[in-house]
Structures are given as C-alpha cells and as structure tokens.
C-alpha cells in the first residue's frame, strides 16, 4: 500500500473505525493504482479538502478531484465535483451496482466487497475528465 505522506490525511484515516477505514484505504489504493496506469494523469496530490482525503491531478490538470469519506451512519462514499457530469454518467451505467447521492457521490456499503472493475472505470473517468 502506498504510504500516506501528509500527516493530516493519515490522522483522518486513523480516526475512521476499522470497518470504514479498510474499504476507504482500498479505494485510496485503487485511485493511486489507476492513476499510475494512465500516462496522461501523472502524479496525484493527496491532501485534505473539507476534512476529507482528496486526490487531485495538480500537475497534469487532467482530472476532477476525488474525495473519500464516511456517508451517514453506515456507508462510505466517493465524492466527485458536483458541477461535473461524472455521477450522472456513472448512474446511467451502474445504477444496478451503486447507490448515488444526488450529483456528487457514489455511496457504498463498507461491509460488502468493492466492485473493483466498475470503481476503476469511475476513477479513470474522474482522473481524465478534462482530457475527454
């Protein structure tokens, strides 16, 4: 797993209960692995935005930021910029797999297996949003 460099990001992950931390860290790793496989994306910047771990393509400016956090009392979410069409696109493709929150997030049950292929696609779309 890629080391968390930003101490503030590390603290946020440490504060999550284990049942939320594990899948959120899996999604974090998926974000970095997906970015590494996309030549146009380059290095990701990991930081906190609104006290949520955030992943941005600061150098290439190829994508739209992705944020991770708990959602409500029992779920986790992958947040996308609400003024993009990303969640609308994901809803059209994956409404039978994911829950969504308006035009801003994919909502997941932390106790179920992550749908890796579908999440990878969504992450790729976010990381290359401005290059499409």
CB 46 within 8 A of CB 102: no
First to last CA, the chain: 29
- Is the pTM higher than 0.85? yes
| CA–CA distance, 79 with 123 (Å, rounded to integer) | 11
pLDDT of residue 59: 85
pLDDT of residue 126: 98
Say how many domains are in the chain. 1
Residue 58 has pLDDT above 80, yes or no: yes
CA angle 62, 82, 64 (to 5 degrees): 10
Tell me, yes or no, whether 97 lies in a domain: yes
Q: Calculate what percentage of the chain has a pLDDT beyond 70.
A: 100
Cα pseudo-dihedral 23, 53, 122, 96, rounded to 10: 50
Distances (CA, A) of 91 to 45, 54, 68, 102: 27, 22, 18, 10
pLDDT of residue 119: 99
> What confidence tens digit (pLDDT) does each residue in 8-30 have?
999 999 999 999 999 999 999 99
What CATH number corresponds to the domain at position 69?
3.90.1150.200
Q: Output the average pLDDT for the chain.
A: 96
Tell me, yes or no, whether 2 lies in a domain: no
Cβ neighbours around 101 below 10 Å, total: 15
Averaged pLDDT, 82-107: 97
């Amino acid at each position: 797993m890629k080391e968390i460099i930003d101490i503030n990001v590390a603290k946020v992950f440490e504060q999550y209960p284990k049942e939320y931390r594990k899948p959120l860290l899996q999604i974090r790793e998926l974000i970095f692995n997906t970015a590494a496989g996309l030549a146009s994306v380059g290095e990701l910047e990991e930081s906190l935005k609104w006290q949520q771990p955030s992943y941005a393509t600061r150098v290439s400016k190829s994508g739209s930021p992705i944020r991770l956090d708990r959602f409500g009392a029992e779920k986790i979410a992958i947040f996308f910029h609400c003024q993009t069409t990303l969640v609308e696109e994901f809803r059209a493709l994956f409404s039978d797999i994911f829950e969504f929150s308006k035009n801003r997030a994919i909502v997941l049950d932390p106790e179920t297996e992550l749908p890796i292929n579908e999440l990878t696609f969504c992450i790729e779309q976010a990381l290359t949003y401005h290059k499409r």
